[in-house]
Amino acid sequence: MTATGGTERPPANGDGTRAVRAGLPEPVKNEPTLPGPVFAAHFHLPGDVSGPYTYGRDENPTWTHLERAIGELEAPGPAAVPCLTFASGMAAISAVLFSQLRAGDAVVLPSDGYQVFPLVREQLTAYGIEVRTAPTAGDAQLDVLDGARLLWLETPSNPGLDVCDIRRLADAAHARGALVAVDNTLATPLGQRPLELGADFSVASATKQLTGHGDLLLGYVVCADAGPAAAVRRWRKIVGAIPGPMEAWLAHRSLATLELRVARQNANALAVAQALRGRVTGLRHPGLPDDPSHAVAARQMRRFGCVVSFELPTRARAERFLDALDLVDEATSFGGVRSTAERRGRWGGDAVADGFIRFSAGAEDTEDLVADVLRALAESSG
């Protein structure tokens, strides 16, 4: 495609189209489609200081392309939204919390959120910030919102896969003068667009399905408004939790297959969930029509994610099941092209039963994956 006069660019309306083209610079003759990683601690800077590229902790052209790409996926449309990438999901989460909150503020976190939250809570409390928690299910965070400065949502929640109503909670928070951040890790921007549902920040670990190969850590923050975005950018400069150019470039390269991976992986998750129906307890996947999360998820999500959770009767049974799987690696994390599963209770911290399994569907052939899961389930029952 060339940007010559009179030739209209085809609109990138479909997710697959948007994913393969996201963040690409204007074509330049004899240059690559996606320029390679720029390794630079400093840039030539004679005379007075002017941007865009001065010092490698502040800006990097490889981040710029990736940040445009993620912004286009999180908030498609003519106006680019501010996006900042970070060294990890936790760096992105911390950047929002610690740039927006001051001593004396109150923040509402999910009680069933990502497992590092108890540590985050300790740190916030040590800085004089009041931390309130309530479960994701049933929009229970509504009940503790009064006087809060920031509402933090994680939907679907990890690992319990409960879902809350982003629009309803965002309206309630804004009516009380609070900002709203949504952890969009599990859904990915193809599954859910929090800014369109009223959130001020969409924050995620790009380590998971967004990049999908289990080979890098990365995080991002997308902001609805320039003011909060400037504070997040300032925090990144202070803390220096910046992505390496190689990781940023690998992430951008991985975005080209996002729609393909999500389509296969999420279909596999639903197939595994359907195959497990009646064979396990506590089966959860927001895409199952009878899941407690399904009604709200179907209203605000466009895809339901690649994670399935369920319980086996005992820890020993769960360990035998994981051991018997051939196509599923026993590993933490989720969202990769190779299926993984783990007994979540082995970490401590999450309020889950001993036999609770978090299963992340990869991009294997559906029949192969379902057959492996059912075989391992049968073999482990003895």
Ligand X SMILES: *Cc1c(COP(=O)(O)O)cnc(C)c1O
Contacts with ligand X, residue ranges (CB under 6 A)? 88-90, 93, 114, 154, 158, 183, 185-186, 205, 207-208, 217, 219
Closest approach, Cβ 93 to ligand X, in A, equals 6
Residue nearest to ligand X (CB): 89
Which lies closer to ligand X via its Cβ, residue 139 or residue 154?
Answer: 154
Closest approach, Cβ 372 to ligand X, in A, equals 24
The whole-angstrom separation of Cα 297 and Cα 6 is: 42
Where do the H-state alpha helices sit in the chain?
15-21, 61-74, 89-100, 117-126, 166-175, 226-239, 245-255, 258-276, 294-300, 315-324, 366-379
Which lies closer to ligand X via its Cβ, residue 181 or residue 217?
Answer: 217
Coil, helix or strand at residue 219: strand
Burial of 9 (0-12, 13-18, 19+ CB in 10 A): exposed
Which lies closer to ligand X via its Cβ, residue 82 or residue 160?
Answer: 160
Do residues 159 and 185 touch, judged by C-beta distance below 8 A? no
**Bond preceding residue 228 cis, omega within 30 of 0:** no
Do residues 84 and 60 touch, judged by C-beta distance below 8 A? no
Closest approach, Cβ 115 to ligand X, in A, equals 8
Closest approach, Cβ 25 to ligand X, in A, equals 26
Q: Give the position of tokens 């501010």.
A: 82
Closest approach, Cβ 27 to ligand X, in A, equals 32
Closest approach, Cβ 166 to ligand X, in A, equals 15
Which lies closer to ligand X via its Cβ, residue 85 or residue 268?
Answer: 85
Please say whether the dihedral angle defined by the alpha carbons of residues 135, 137, 142 and 143, taken in this order, is positive or negative: negative
Closest approach, Cβ 35 to ligand X, in A, equals 25
Which lies closer to ligand X via its Cβ, residue 356 or residue 380?
Answer: 356
Which lies closer to ligand X via its Cβ, residue 208 or residue 317?
Answer: 208
Which lies closer to ligand X via its Cβ, residue 96 or residue 195?
Answer: 96
At 375, the amino acid letter reads R
The whole-angstrom separation of Cα 8 and Cα 341 is: 46
